[in-house]
Amino acid sequence: MRIVFNREASVKVAALATGIAAGAIGWAVPAVSQEISDDVVKIGIMNDRSGVYADAGGEGSVVAARLAVEDFGGTVLGAPVEIVAADHQNKADIGSNVARQWYDEDKVDAIMDLPTSSVALAVQSLSREKKKITIVSGGGSAEISGSQCSPYGFQWAYDTRALSRGTAGALVRGGDDTWFFLTADYAFGDSLQSQATAVIEANGGKVLGAVRHPLSTSDFSSFILQAQSSGAKVIGLANAGLDTSNAVKAANEFGLTEAGQKMASLLLTLSDAHSLGTEGAQGLYLTAGWYWDQDDENREFAKRYMERHGKMPDMLHVGVYSAVLQYLKAIKAAGTDETEAVARKLHEMPVEDLFAKKGRVLENGRMVYDMYLFQVKSPDESSGEWDLYKQVETIPGDKAYATVAESGCDVSSFPKN
């Protein structure tokens, strides 16, 4: 019985060790401008800098934000632009505390990135209270621009609805109409699966079955066997991170793809694909809004980013770049950094940059732009460690994203301009 007591004690130690609050770094800058509050535009990049999602955001997003500031010229309306960063450790309470401190003491004007939907929702709701702008590119829940939307909240890079519409819709239309899901057994997995199911059924396909596996399962072979015996044409992965990687590895090992079944991941980041390698991930379908090797503009940006950070940028990182750039453009267009005015400009202005070639922002804050269905290359097709995707088809923005009415966002509650 002793072990039980001891383990309890060790959990307390763990809680202590991980309970260190995150801090923000900032410094004062001399006064120059009258339209800008506190004479500086401060943008806070808040994300996971040490945990499971650190590769998908982390320092990479900060690097992308700095590149955006440089590309904009370093100042807006004569005031300097400053980037600060903090780790929310994927915990909503820590995220809210940091946001409060940023707004109240550190004069931060807007918070961006915000992966992990629970944290994004908490910070967005606090920011609505404080009348500050948030631009979420890391957090994927469709709720952010749906039932929990905010007049000052924007969602930039993707959402779960677009990913499932993209991947499931395109495959079913191509004739892969029977599906079996491996779903992570929590809210995120559930919503991915139910959104994808709706798309599959709307396109005349059929879901033959699903297994709901616990979060952080290391061995997927049992689930893979079940998927195999279902006879479904596509195995849909409604999970993320290590779970996705381990499921894909097991599927290859058990000869699933060789036997003709397709694997489709509803959320795969470039770092996941990179860590699996083409050997492990080949043939996998996924949806993303940006890939470094799509055109010269993207390749050039990727090269600059690579020089700074040593890795290729992913959709989420470039989403932060685009968000920062658009925010600065909006301040310039509004002639002030006052929240209402900037939010109005963000809603009005089209988004034209290397991330979103033809983007626009809906009333609910959702930035709508074209998404792409990709397939991971085979080792023969790939010419280097980052040469991972080939583009299969373009999914027009209005097909991928929900309309304001569909999103469930009550825009009538927003303050009238």
Footprint of other proteins on this chain (CB under 8 A)? 1-4, 6-7, 9-10, 13-14, 17, 50-55, 185, 211-214, 216-219, 221-223, 225-226, 229, 241-242, 245-246, 249-250, 253-255, 271-272, 274-277, 279-280
Q: How far apart are CA 122 and CA 384, in angstroms?
A: 40
**Closer of 387 and 393 to other proteins (Cβ):** 387
Question: Nearest approach, Cβ of 130 to other proteins (angstroms)?
Answer: 32
Determine the Cα–Cα distance for residues 76 and 67; give it in Å rounded to an integer. Answer: 15
Q: What share of the chain is helix, strand, coil (3-state, %, to 5)?
A: 45, 20, 35
Q: Please, which residue, 187 or 225, has the CB nearer to other proteins?
A: 225
Separation between Cα atoms, residue 117 and residue 139, nearest integer Å: 5
C-alpha atoms less than 13 angstroms from C-alpha of 245 in its C-beta half-sphere: 15
Shortest reach from residue 248's CB to other proteins, in Å:
10
Residue closer to other proteins, measured from CB, 150 or 271: 271
Shortest distance, CB of residue 307 to other proteins, whole angstroms? 19
Min dist CB 329 to other proteins, Å, is: 33
Q: In the complex with other proteins, which residue's Cβ is closer, 270 or 324? A: 270
Give least dist CB 262 to other proteins, A.
Answer: 17
Beta bridge partners of 248: none
Instruction: Residue 94: count other Cβ atoms within 10 Å of its Cβ.
Output: 20
Crossing angle of the two packed helices 296-309 and 58-72, in degrees rounded to 10 = 120
96 vs 217, beta carbon nearer other proteins: 217
Name the residue nearer to other proteins (CB basis): 174 or 280. 280
* Shortest distance, position 268 Cβ to other proteins, whole Å: 11
Residue count of the chain? 417
Two tokens, residue 408: 């469930």
- Least separation in angstroms between residue 20's CB and other proteins is 12
Name the residue nearer to other proteins (CB basis): 4 or 405: 4
DSSP states along 119-130: HHHHHHHHHHHH
Minimum CB distance to other proteins smaller for 223 or for 369: 223
Contacts of 331 (CB under 8 A, 6+ apart): 36, 41, 76, 77, 337, 342, 345
Point out which residues pair with 136 in neighbouring strands: 113, 155
Q: Smallest gap, in angstroms, from Cβ of residue 358 to other proteins?
A: 32
Which residues make Cβ contacts (< 8 Å) with residue 223, sequence separation at least 6? Answer: 182, 211, 213, 217, 247, 250
Helix (H, G, I), strand (E, B) or coil at 326: helix
Q: Which residues contact 413 (CB under 8 A, 6 or more apart)?
A: none
Residue 281 CA to residue 266 CA, distance in Å, equals 14
Cβ atoms within 10 A of the Cβ of 112, count? 27
What minimum distance in Å lies between the beta carbon of 116 and other proteins? Answer: 13
Whose Cβ is closer to other proteins: residue 70's or residue 279's? 279
Please state, in angstroms and as integers, the Cα–Cα distance from residue 366 to each residue in 89, 297, 317, following that order: 25, 24, 17
Please, which residue, 216 or 403, has the CB nearer to other proteins? Answer: 216
Minimal distance, residue 236 CB to other proteins, in Å:
16
